[in-house]
Amino acid sequence: MQKPVHYLLLVLFGLAGLFTGTWASSRFLDAGSAEKYIVDQDNRVVPVPLDQFGLSKEQAAFVSRMRMPVFSDSGPFDLKHKKDIRQALLAGYQKDGPLLDQWATFSSDRERFIAYLMIRVNGSFPNFEVRPLSGSLTELLTSQEGNCGDLTVRLLMLLDLFSIQARAIAWNTPAIEGHMFVDAYDPEEGKAYFLDPTNNLMAAAKTQDEGTGFIDILSDSDVPARLDLLDEQMKQFPLYFASATGVSSDFENWASSNALRVYDVTINGLAYELPQMLERWSAGGDWHPSSLCRLAGEGNPGLAVFQPQNCLPIVSLTGHDRASSANNVEVRLPL
């Protein structure tokens, strides 16, 4: 029988994506373009009528190239597969990494590589589905159906392979309802990252403090400073996936169901509603930061086999001393 806290965490990761399809969209969507394309279920770039929302042909081709598994072996996972995944990602980056320059300017090759990891995770989930977090390591790495919790965990796993410390941020406010994304710190460059693999949104900032996440930087700033940082640093890349469970996530509905696009909603939510979430995290409860180390330590068998090593503690966001200094594995929060 699963531990009650662990079970609730699995449900939380599953429910975190429930509302994502209703507020997520893309600033790349444009109802006035002369030519419009989407990437269909067979990963083909196909035209759509001019009165529908879509991408340019170049944007759709980019999405198609990113839309593939990050790991294809369906057999039992062995720790040697970590090296295989690393090598495959590095080879893919050497080939496709320069494509990212058409969407954003990067301060370093390392920053661009981290963006590539996020975009590849997005492309590895062509179908949106609300479900609890799997306990199977193979499924955590290979499933093509999932929600923001699944995308977040998969990105945490890839970041761990490249010694990037990270944690999952569970967020639920009026602006950003029931969502999950990644907060990370890269010791190689002393840089903190906000990474949303569901919506292909990314922001980065240099920090002098080791082990500092992007949300830590925001929490030490006032609203105007947060807005300035987010406006300056937020990058967005094209994306598309179809819904497997009736949660609408096609181009037309994404664009028409919200006056505020996801780019603006995310900036406003992070800037204005962070104090609300900090208070909520401090109080405990269902919505709180987590990490692969914590989930593995609480009994997720797949993540225990994966043996994550690079987890960002949550104490700076919760105010609770929840991390073990010996192994950086966080103990359970009371629910």
Indicate if the pLDDT at residue 86 is higher than 70. yes
The DSSP letter of residue 192 is: E
Which tops the pLDDT comparison, 53 or 142?
142
pTM for this model (two decimals): 0.85
CA–CA separation, 144 and 128 (whole Å): 8
Does residue 48 fall inside a structural domain?
no
Does residue 58 fall inside a structural domain?
no
Does residue 325 fall inside a structural domain?
no
Q: Is the dihedral of CA 142, 145, 149, 155 positive or negative?
A: positive
Does residue 93 fall inside a structural domain?
yes
Query: CB under 8 Å to 58, separation ≥6 — which residues?
Result: 102
Does residue 292 fall inside a structural domain?
yes
Contact 17, 149 (CB under 8 A): yes
In order, the DSSP letters of 120-147 are: HHHHT--EE---PPPS-HHHHHH-SEE-
Phi, psi (degrees; rounded to nearest 5) at 280: -65, -45
Indicate if the pLDDT at residue 27 is higher than 70. no
In tens, the pLDDT along 242-251 reads 544 444 444 4
Confidence of residue 52 (pLDDT cuts 50, 70, 90): low
Contact 276, 173 (CB under 8 A): yes
Average pLDDT over residues 216-229: 97
Does residue 41 fall inside a structural domain?
no
Q: Residue 304 corresponds to which tokens in the numbers above? A: 């225990």
What is the tally of structural domains in the chain?
Answer: 1
Nearest to 331 by CA among 283, 284, 306, 297: 297
Average pLDDT over residues 129-152: 90
Average pLDDT over residues 216-223: 96
CA–CA separation, 118 and 104 (whole Å): 14
Least confident window among 176-190, 197-211, 249-263, 270-284:
249-263
Which residue range is the domain that position 28 belongs to?
Answer: 4-32+67-236+252-318
Does residue 192 fall inside a structural domain?
yes
Does residue 37 fall inside a structural domain?
no
Query: What's the distance, Cα to Cα, between the start and end of the chain in Å?
Result: 18
Q: Is the dihedral of CA 222, 226, 229, 232 positive or negative?
A: negative
Q: Residue 78 corresponds to which tokens in the numbers above? A: 């062995």
Residue with tokens 């086999």: 305
Contact 196, 168 (CB under 8 A): no
CA 227 to chain centre: 21
